[in-house]
Amino acid sequence: MSGKISLRLRKLEDGSLIVGEFPSREDALTWLKERPHMIEVLGVAAELDPDDEQALRAALRPLDPEERRLSHALDEA
């Protein structure tokens, strides 16, 4: 993967959608491992090589119970 990575994100406090842009694969992987509390990653904003997308998914910190509850509530709304 080279170049900028764009991820579709959702703020769990209010459901607003944003795009996070990262200048490199390494920056995106680091951010995903340390994903800020109350930010949910919905997916990539642009098509990636399947291997690269899998690496990003593997790096993603899972939602904690509170985040999971809010995510489900937003999905149901």
How many domains is the chain built from? 1
Give residue 3's pLDDT: 79
> Is the pTM higher than 0.85?
yes
Domain that includes residue 37, residue range: 5-76
Q: Could you give the 3-state DSSP secondary structure of residue 31?
A: helix
Least confident span in 11-15, 39-43, 47-51, 71-75: 47-51
- The closest alpha carbon to 1, from 45, 58, 59, 53, belongs to 53
CA-CA distance, 64 to 51, in Å (whole number)? 26
